[in-house]
Amino acid sequence: MESSPMIPENEQRRLVRVKELYQLERDGDEEFDCIAALAARLFKASIALISIVDEKRQWFCARVGITTHETPRHHSFCAHAILGDELFEVCDARLDARFHKNPLVLGEPQIRYYAGIPLWTDDGLALGSLCIIDDQPRPPMEPEERALLQTLAQLAMKRINSLRAINYIDSPTGLLNRLRLQEDVQRLLDTGEQPMWLVAADVVSPVFLNEIVKALGYVFSTELMLRIKERLQLLMPPATPLYKLSPTRFAFILRGDDAESRRATALFSTILEAFREEVVCDNIPIRTQLGLGVLRMRPQGEGRADWLRCLISTADHARATGTGWRFYSEQRDRAQLRAFGLLNALPTALKSEDQLSLHYQPKLDLRSGECTSVEALLRWTHPTLGEVSPMEFIPLAEKTALIRPISLWVMNQGLRQIAEWRRQGWRFGLALNISALDLEDEAFVDHLFPLLDHYSVEPEQLELELTESTLMKRPEMVKTQLERLVARGIHLAIDDFGAGYSNWAYLREIAARSLKLDQSFARSLDSSERSREIVKTMIQLARSLGYRVVAEGIENESTYRLLREWQCDEGQGYYLALPMPADDLIAWLDAHQQRNE
């Protein structure tokens, strides 16, 4: 009766290491092919194999004299070879009780002789064997032959280690890489008996690292990461390896006693304290921006399938917010997933005919009550999420290139609508919000001018609202584009004035006609004497400098009366008029004119 091979005591650990070689099964390797060919030639064998013994099969990294690339494990001679430390030899399989009924003996490839050397890792795991096979019985190997086959097996194992380093080692730092972390976490989830904490250390922002590379070069940035690695390794608990996740992130796993809450949080505090001191590289001190993200995992399949994404986003959030370290939060993660989903859906919305629309909110002259202009406000009706607030999706778009096509869409729709109203006899202006990104090159202005001509809109009818931060990036290019707009006759307004830098000298850089006071001022007039003094003074100063002053956020009559009394020029807010679709606006204007007469 055929004898099935025994299972090694370290089988689970061994199989984890075998999984590391799956890429080799798919892609092959020329050096393995050469070693197998050399073994066949030196021993005049009809078959030579570099075999890996998997859970239910053996598969071949390299093979000579056989076409199949795998056989069942319980038929495998190599599954017996990995149970010993030295040469496993079968001189005549027909006479061996373990193999005389084996299908590989009774049928193709008619195995009679087998000699295999196990392929051992440095930590005592037999992955498979280098073997030679013949269809004729042979006498036992001489010592010299055994030594030669052993040498070939060592060459094969060195190649396996080399490929493992390529696949699982981060070359610049010498640390285990992200792929190895994923394998180790999965192994611990499958076999672990203790809860574990995954920790990612986000040491600097990618933007900051890019600035370092541009200023000091790649060699310096690599050395900096080595210094950071060394500092982190000194703080790791015993037998806790450090992994390199990405150019700016490291990771480690806390298990057992190290995952006990007080001990773990004490470690986090120690790490953060250690990195309050600059990292000195080539005599240049660099201040890191360390953030630790912590994700608690449990064994036996209770971990999240997307744990790596959750871990990285948590560390990134901790670094970006300067909070030191944070546990993973499902609520925050849901918000991030929603944000990502919205960004993915925006390009489709721009092409759709029924998702994006403009609402228009009147701005009124506070002395006469006349509607001087309307501000175009973007609205998004998502097919499954419903109404999505612009306060949610516009800031997301401004972090990406999506803000540009959004601005162009709003510009085109707004100009088309104001042209239609002009044909109907209305003469109020149109205000559009633009982003700083819209002015960082010529594209926005180059699109705007032909549209003005296409819709026959007078430039003086258009007012572009921009925030005080517009000149923060590429100030010379932005100023050039603003000058082009003003030269064409388009009005500029500073939006949300007072909420940001509020630098009056900064206003000299922008030829704005109007200042729109941030709505937080108007909303606090009823409750704060200090706010009343500040707003009154700002209005007086702005008017003395020749600006028209627009107050946002007028939500009650008392605020409206105060702003009129202080000679604020224009107002906007829910007390005066809500944002509304184009068709409703005309009805509102008719009713408003009748009330004003």
Q: Contact, 118 vs 37, CB < 8 A? A: no
Q: Is the peptide bond before 285 cis (omega within 30 degrees of 0)?
A: no
pTM surpassing 0.75?
no
CA distance 463 to 443: 18
CATH number attached to the domain at 176-328: 3.30.70.270
Q: What is the structure's pLDDT at 1?
A: 47
Mean pLDDT of 245-262: 89
Structure letter (DSSP) for residue 205: -
Per CATH, the homologous superfamily of domain 350-596 is EAL domain (3.20.20.450)
Residue 133 corresponds to which tokens in the numbers above? Answer: 């096979």
Domain residue extents for the chain: 11-168, 176-328, 350-596
CA-to-CA dists, residue 174 to 15, 165, 226, 230, angstroms: 24, 9, 9, 11
Percentage of the chain exceeding pLDDT 70 = 95
Query: Which pLDDT tens digit goes with each residue over 497-509?
Result: 876 555 566 677 7
Query: Which pLDDT tens digit goes with each residue over 130-181?
Result: 999 999 999 999 999 999 999 999 999 999 888 877 778 888 998 889 988 9
CA distance 395 to 61: 52
CATH number attached to the domain at 11-168: 3.30.450.40
Q: Contact, 247 vs 209, CB < 8 A? A: yes
Q: Contact, 431 vs 579, CB < 8 A? A: no
Query: Which pLDDT tens digit goes with each residue over 46-94?
Result: 999 999 999 899 999 999 999 999 999 999 999 999 999 899 999 999 9
